[in-house]
Structure 1
Amino acid sequence: MLSTEGRKISEHANEFVKNLKVGEHGCVFFTSREDFKGIQFTFVKSGLEQNWGVVYTTATETVNKVRDDMKQFGIDVQEHENEGSLVIVRGEDLYKDPENPDLKGWTAVAKSICDSFVAKGKKGVRVAADLSSYFLSKGLAKQWFQLEYALERKLAIPLTIVCGYDAQLIPASKDLDIIEYYKMVNREQREYVDAHSFAIYANKNKTIVFTV
């Protein structure tokens, strides 16, 4: 069960995502899906409380599973969906064909989402994404990074994004301590961080926030 009273991540990481400004595009490397959702749902919940529009995109779970987990975390999903401030979507609705992603369509959708929420009086849009696991597990790393780089490190539109990366899917990372993992990714796997303005590395013992 996901709960704000359950296992705590780093307070620093939670405060960091709560206070993210418009235009940031970052990622969370995680070893536990529970820890990952704790960070993502903190980002979502604080955004809703601060008058952001929020989009949660998933490729590994059903929309109803995400809704249930958000409710357990203390997010009033029904209220926010009914008023149009929260949208939960499957990845297929955004990237269409994963082997040949439509990059122009991807960026057009991002702009359209921003325009829609800003027209409703929102300060911008927060996107919490869990899409990379699908691409990386299918060996579609090149396609995924095309999508990541298409959105740029610092966004010119009122959009803030936090992407998720399952550490188990990144080469040579499985048994590393979070400090060694952090060093390895920044030294040997730069493509995982170069599209981003920040990266959070989280496991049950320690969390690191790295800003570019």
Structure 2
Amino acid sequence: MEHFHLCAFFDSREQEYDVLAPFFREGLEQNEKVLHIVNPDMMDDHRARLSESGIDVHACESCGQLELASWYGAYLDSEMRFDRERMLATLQQVCREAAEAGYARVRIMGNMDWTVANTGLERELLAYEAEVNEVLSHHRQPAICVYDTAKLSGAMMMDLLRTHPLTLVNGVVQENPFYIPASAMLAELERRDLACAAQPA
């Protein structure tokens, strides 16, 4: 089975762009759609770093081949709430619209730093990361979830690994031996919910 969902761990923004910018540039050169979901406060910095890597950001955005989206309206609504069903539907729509526009592929990247500032989302995030595998496999489109290792606990990093069939660490993509199917991860999350509910107040 081919996999399309990749978790990328980086120690710095410099390392992130050194590794990922060539992947983005390759997609644009092959006339593929590229979608990035990033921190709105870092949008200008993101454009500058893409430009420094040799991407004509203005031209690619103008023609719609490169789309830069904010966390807000994608992962988070106006009240900073994350709704995984809405986000899964959004990804379905992105894949369909790219195909309808004639793109053979859409390369999706989501910066996940928004999860750090929104405590209490861990359960929903893990469920989303597990379920998105099915959307990406159905449409056969790749997506990279970018995480900052300095902002993750060891337990959260392990859980994230278990929801991604592919990993990118130190610039190397490889199949992830810790990955478990979405159904197994969702069942585990249900067991955790039950265990928490059973604990005395």
Report the TM range for the smaller structure's normalisation.
0.7 to 0.9
Give the equivalent residue in structure 1 for 2:159.
191
Contact 1:199 1:209 (C-alpha < 8 Å) held by counterparts = yes
- Which of 131, 136, 139 in structure 2 is aligned with 1:157? 139
Q: How does 1:121-132 map to 2 (within 5 A)?
A: 121-130=102-111, 132=112
Q: CA deviation at 1:137?
A: 4.0
Q: How does 1:97-136 map to 2 (within 5 A)?
A: 97=77, 100-130=81-111, 132-136=112-116
Contact 1:60 1:134 (C-alpha < 8 Å) held by counterparts = no
**Residue deviations 1:94-145, cap 9 Å, x none?**
1234864222211111111112111121112111111x21212433332322
Which consecutive unaligned segments of at least 5 residues does structure 2 have? 177-201
With structure 1 as the length reference, what TM-score do the two structures score? 0.72
Give the equivalent residue in structure 2 for 1:8.
none
Structure 1 or 2: more helix by fraction: 2
**Residue deviations 1:127-171, cap 9 Å, x none?**
1111x2121243333232232123116521142101111110122
Give, in whole Å, the separation in 1 of the partners of 2:63 and 2:80. 35
Contact 2:71 2:114 (C-alpha < 8 Å) held by counterparts = no
Give the equivalent residue in structure 1 for 2:13.
33
Give the equivalent residue in structure 2 for 1:147.
128
Give, in whole Å, the separation in 1 of the partners of 2:81 and 2:30. 36
SS at match of 1:101: coil
Match of 2:160, as an amino acid? Y
Give, in whole Å, the separation in 2 of the partners of 1:56 and 1:121. 19
SS at match of 1:84: coil
Moved over 6 A (4+): none
CA 1:99–1:149 in structure 2 vs 1: closer, same or farther (change >3 Å)? farther
Root-mean-square deviation over aligned CA pairs:
2.4
Give, in whole Å, the separation in 2 of the partners of 1:35 and 1:78. 24
Give the equivalent residue in structure 2 for 1:43.
23
Q: CA deviation at 1:208?
A: 4.3
Give the equivalent residue in structure 1 for 2:174.
210
Contact 2:108 2:144 (C-alpha < 8 Å) held by counterparts = yes
Give the fraction of aligned pairs with identical amino acids, expressed as a percent: 22
- Which of 24, 31, 40 in structure 1 is aligned with 2:4? 24
Match of 1:91, as an amino acid? W
With structure 2 as the length reference, what TM-score do the two structures score? 0.75
SS at match of 1:159: coil
Matched, 1:76 2:38: no
CA 1:171–1:23 in structure 2 vs 1: closer, same or farther (change >3 Å)? closer
**Equivalent pairs, count:** 172
Give, in whole Å, the separation in 1 of the partners of 2:17 and 2:41. 12
Tell me whether 144-153 or 68-77 shows the greater mean CA deviation: 144-153
CA 1:60–1:166 in structure 2 vs 1: closer, same or farther (change >3 Å)? farther
Contact 1:62 1:90 (C-alpha < 8 Å) held by counterparts = no
Q: CA deviation at 1:53?
A: 0.5
